[in-house]
Amino acid sequence: MRVPTLDVHSPLDGRLVGRPLAATDEDAAGAVRTAREAQPGWAATPAADRGAALRAAARAVRDAADDLAAAVQAETGRPFASAREGVLAGASTLEQYAELGPVHRGRSLLGGHDATDLMVPGPRGVVVALTPWNDPVAVACGLLGAALVTGNAVVHKPSERCPHTGALLAELMVQHFPPGVLQGLTGAGELGAALAASPDVDVVAHVGGTATGRSIAAACAATGAKALLENGGNDPLVVDADVDPAWAAAQAALGGFTNAGQLCTSVERVFVHQDVAEAFLEALCDEARRWNADPQPLVDRAHRDHVHAHVAEAVADGARPLVGGEVPDGDGAFYPATVLAGCTPGMRVMREETFGPVVPVRVVPSFEQGLAEACADEHGLAATVLTGSMANAQRAWRALPVGTVKVNAVFGGAPGGAAQPRGASGTGFGYGPELLDEMTTVKVVHLGQAQLRD
Ligand SMILES: NC(=O)c1ccc[n+]([C@@H]2O[C@H](COP(=O)([O-])OP(=O)(O)OC[C@H]3O[C@@H](n4cnc5c(N)ncnc54)[C@H](O)[C@@H]3O)[C@@H](O)[C@H]2O)c1
């Protein structure tokens, strides 16, 4: 039987933050039933009114940015200012969908002589949204905004690592929609699995780990629901021979250590040209020491164990930790910014998402070799190349099997836009206008004019 509470400990000092109740399978089934009943009325509501409701929800999120950021910080350890940025990004995404939703697919009219063919867009029905802890408000707002404005009813389950944040977000948003149109349930992965396996759900939208995404895809294959999956990444950074190694190291540190490496588009593995490798590694170690002067914890100790296992295995296989690599004493879930030299493609730290402040570095004899190794991976979220050569940049963006290629900047690319992951990284469509297509279907109505009187 499922444990009825979720214990959340602060990653800063281990103290108990709270013990909220977890919803049961019966609650999940009840929420899906309620959503099913509420959805037709919401779909029949004028799109402009749905947009207005979303705008009101966005305002509530924006006004409560401090409270939401404090909850994110308490539960996940993300620094307040950065957590607040995530909340405000979420509010902006809701506002973006409030504008885009009402004009979505307004162009779909086909002509004829004695008949008219209309392409009538409509919602898919009931959407289950399963979201992660690492940017909990921004990600949830993306899925919820696109689903709600197009007339779907939504059951949202936030991560069990930030149930208070999820509950607060639900409290702020639910009141702006008719009863049953948006519901929030807190619970662990089992609750997500129960929702994903429900036979009466039309879309399961999941942002989270690759293994979870795969099990959701299997559940959806059994029920016929559409699976929208934004899974994990294993983003490479390829450093060419002609860039300033100190600047490249600063980029690698920014990509690898921001939010303690817990971003889906964190730099997960580095391929550096041998001509600049020594200077690059030296500068990267300086950067890591600087990050370690102001440490940010990982989300919890279980995750720290996962990160350290990747590092320890790599070291056992011959990698050299130049900075970090040790679990520190203390009650929190801290792990130092870590630079690993001497990494090889077979190591788990290079093959799987570490999701921690660890930058494994492999020295390669040529840009082409680095690019080839960067491409040889099952994930396909994003990738960065640092180069002074437009020809190499072009070669890279053509070859890399990923949703976003970044040249000479580790962050950026389609903010709130359509980054379509590939391979094991999923089947979703970011948080841009294209997500509205995914949340809707189009019905063709062939309208013969004979007998029509008005
Ligand atoms: N591609 C993107 O846009 C993106 C964005 C942010 C995070 N991520 C990824 O998310 C991961 C970190 O988040 P996480 O640890 O919370 O992910 P996770 O997959 O463990 O959890 C995500 C959500 O799925 C639920 N869940 C867990 N097991 C489930 C199951 N068997 N069936 C249904 N639902 C289940 C969780 O309770 C949570 O609500 C990283 O891999 C990161 O790369 C991806």
Please give the structure tokens belonging to residue 193.
Answer: 């699995």
Question: How does residue 448 score in pLDDT terms, banded at 50, 70 and 90?
Answer: confident
> Which of 88, 89, 86 lies closest to 78 in space, CA to CA?
86
Nearest CA to ligand 1 atom 1: 230
Alpha helices in 206-334 (DSSP H): 210-223, 245-257, 274-292, 301-316
227 within ligand 1 shell (Cβ under 6 A) = no
Residue located nearest, by CA, to atom 27 of ligand 1: 189
Residue 305 CA, ligand 1 centroid: distance in Å: 18
**Cβ neighbours, 10 Å, residue 5:** 12
Q: Is the pLDDT of residue 1 over 70?
A: no
**Residue 110 confidence (pLDDT):** 61
Is the Cβ–Cβ distance between 409 and 267 less than 8 Å?
no
State residue 37's pLDDT score: 98
pLDDT of residue 415 exceeding 60: no
Largest distance between two CA atoms of the chain: 82
Q: How far is CA 25 from the centre of its chain?
A: 25
Atom 9 (ligand 1): residue with closest C-alpha? Answer: 208
- Look at the block and give the residue holding tokens 């948003």: 173
* 313 pLDDT above the threshold of 70: yes
The type of residue at 191 is: L
Q: Which atom of ligand 1 is nearest to the CA of 187?
A: 37
What pLDDT digit, counting tens, does each position of 74-110 carry?
999 999 999 999 999 999 999 999 999 988 875 556 6
The answer to whether 286 and 245 have CB atoms below 8 angstroms apart is no
Going by CA atoms, what residue is nearest to atom 4 of ligand 1? 264
Take residue 41 and report the two structure tokens written for it: 């009325």
Digit-coded pLDDT (tens) for 13-72: 999 988 888 999 999 999 999 999 999 999 999 999 999 999 999 999 999 999 999 999
Q: Residue 126 — very low, low, confident or very high, per pLDDT cuts 50/70/90? A: very high
Tell me what pLDDT residue 107 has: 54
What average pLDDT does the chain have?
94
ipTM: 0.99
pLDDT of 177-205, one tens digit each?
A: 999 999 999 999 999 999 999 999 999 99
Token pair of 232, please? 């994990």
The C-alpha angle 319, 320, 325, rounded to 5 degrees, equals: 100
Mean pLDDT of 392-404: 96
Angle at 108 between CA 107 and CA 111, to 5 degrees: 110
Question: Could you identify the atom of ligand 1 that is nearest to the CA of residue 299?
Answer: 15
Q: To test ligand 1's pocket by mutation, which of 159, 298, 300, 422 has the most ligand atoms within 8 angstroms of CB? A: 159
Q: Which atom of ligand 1 is nearest to the CA of 426?
A: 1
Instruction: Give residue 313 CA to ligand 1 midpoint distance, Å.
Output: 24
In the predicted structure, residue 342 carries a pLDDT above the cut 70: yes
Could you tell me the distance, in angstroms and rounded to a whole number, from the CA of residue 134 to the centre of ligand 1? 9
User: Do you know the residue count of the chain?
Assistant: 454
> Quick one: pLDDT at residue 355?
98
Separation between Cα atoms, residue 214 and residue 142, nearest integer Å: 21
Whole-number Å distance between alpha carbons of 250 and 263: 17
Is ligand 1 within 6 A of the CB of residue 212?
Answer: yes
Tokens representing residue 296 in the block: 């940010």
Q: State the amino acid at position 90 in one-letter form.
A: G
pLDDT at residue 112 is higher than 80: no
Distance 146 CA to ligand 1 centre (A): 19
CA of 165 to the centre of ligand 1 (A): 16
CB of residue 197 inside a 6 A radius of ligand 1: no
Substitution site in 264, 265, 354 for ligand 1 pocket (most atoms within 8 Å of beta carbon): 264
For residue 405, the model assigns a pLDDT of 94
Nearest CA among 66, 203, 82, 191 for reference residue 144 = 203
Distance (Å) from CA 161 to ligand 1 centroid: 11
How is residue 312 written in tokens?
A: 């320890």
- 139 CB within 6 A, ligand 1: yes
DSSP 21: B
Using 50, 70 and 90 to split pLDDT, how confident is the model at 416?
Answer: very low
CA of 29 to the centre of ligand 1 (A): 21
pTM of the model: 0.95
pLDDT of residue 106: 54
Q: How far is CA 258 from CA 90, 264, 339, in A?
A: 19, 11, 14
Q: Is the pLDDT of residue 419 over 90?
A: no
Neighbours of 104 (CB within 10 A): 19
Please tell me the predicted confidence (pLDDT) of residue 326: 96
133 lines ligand 1 (CB under 6 A): yes
